[in-house]
Amino acid sequence: MAEEVILLDVLLSMFGARVRIALAEKEVKYENKEQNLSDKSPLLLEMNPIHKKIPVLIHNGKPVCESLIIVEYIDNVWQRKAPLLPTDPYQRSQARFWADFVDKKLYVAGNKVLTITTKGEEQETAKKEFLDTLKMLEAELGDKPYFGGESFGFVDIALVGFYSWFHAYETFGNFSVEAECPKLIAWAKRCMEKESVSKSLPDQKTVYEYVVQVRKKFGIE
């Protein structure tokens, strides 16, 4: 039976990255359709009328939205390879908790760092919040190779897309992630050794240049 899998995506998005990585882990063939969020396509508006955001996975014409929900969906549909979530209910709940933490805390803290206007107190506050969040994640990782333990899984997928944005965070926040969270950098590099990850993530320079452009556009010095 012919499967039609389409991903409405934006290369630089850490949320889009999650879905790319999940599909790559499962070796699912799909068509990637890069979206222009300043001029949203009729297809995007039709497939995600509620949030009008990417990523959207369109599987045999039916849309699935919200990146973590999409990753769970992918795990449920393509079960033969690479399980992304553990089978034990408690471990699953922990994986969902930490992926949700990345969404609730890291993304918001990261945006505050990227939109810093004045150096001094504002920068210090944003930097502290961001680094505190990263440190909590580093503590959760502990000495495990991946958040999931021995194998790459759900929380790794939820977080690793942010690695592309580290150079931008570091520059505008004036800190070094490696200096503050060396274990996390080691984890990120370990993930990047996987083809499913390295082929799915944009390089840090491209992301940085994009942020510079956006800051200019919104008059953020």
Partner 1 sequence: MSSKEEVLILDFWGSPFCMRVKIALNEKGVGYESREENLFGGKSELLLSSNPIYQKVPVLLHNGKPLSESSIIVDYINETWPSPPLLPSCPYEKAQAKFWVDFIDKKVFEAGGNIWRSNGEALEQAKQEFIEILKQLEEVLGDSDFFGGKAFGFVDIIAIPLTSWFLAYEKFGGFKVEDHCPKFSAWIKRCLQRDTVAKAIPDSEKVYELVAQLRKMNGIE
Both structure tokens of 24: 């790559």
CA-wise closest residue to 22 among 156, 192, 184, 164: 156
The string over 180-194, giving b where at least 16 C-beta atoms fall within 10 Å of a residue's C-beta and e elsewhere, is bbeebbebbeebeeb
Based on the shown chain and the rule CB under 8 A, indicate whether residue 66 belongs to the binding site for partner 1: yes
**Can you tell me which of 56, 70, 109, 155 binds partner 1, judged by CB under 8 A?**
70
CA-wise closest residue to 136 among 161, 155, 119: 155
Q: Which is nearer to partner 1, 69 or 108 (CB)?
A: 69
**CA 29 – CA 133 distance, rounded (Å):** 35
Based on the shown chain and the rule CB under 8 A, indicate whether residue 65 belongs to the binding site for partner 1: yes
- The span of 5-13, 21-29, 72-80, 196-204 binding partner 1 (CB under 8 A) equals 72-80
Query: Which residue matches tokens 């000495």?
Result: 143
Task: Please name every residue paired with 33 in a beta bridge, in sequence order, or none if there are none.
Answer: 8
Q: How far is CA 194 from CA 142, 146, 152, 206, in A?
A: 20, 12, 9, 20
Q: What is the smallest separation between the CB atom of 101 and partner 1, expressed in angstroms?
A: 7
Based on the shown chain and the rule CB under 8 A, indicate whether residue 111 belongs to the binding site for partner 1: no
**CA 80 – CA 113 distance, rounded (Å):** 41
Write each residue from 131 to 170 as x if it is in contact with partner 1 (CB under 8 A), else as -, in one continuous string.
-----x----------------------------------
Q: Which is nearer to partner 1, 98 or 208 (CB)?
A: 98
Based on the shown chain and the rule CB under 8 A, indicate whether residue 77 belongs to the binding site for partner 1: yes
Q: What is the smallest separation between the CB atom of 52 and partner 1, expressed in angstroms?
A: 13
Helices (H) and strands (E) in the chain, counts: 12, 4
Cα 179 → chain centroid: 22
Based on the shown chain and the rule CB under 8 A, indicate whether residue 101 belongs to the binding site for partner 1: yes
- The span of 66-74, 123-131, 187-195, 198-206 binding partner 1 (CB under 8 A) equals 66-74
Q: What is the smallest separation between the CB atom of 139 and partner 1, expressed in angstroms?
A: 10
Residues contributing to the site for partner 1 (CB under 8 A): 50, 59, 62, 64-66, 69-70, 72-73, 76-77, 89-90, 92-93, 96-97, 100-101, 136
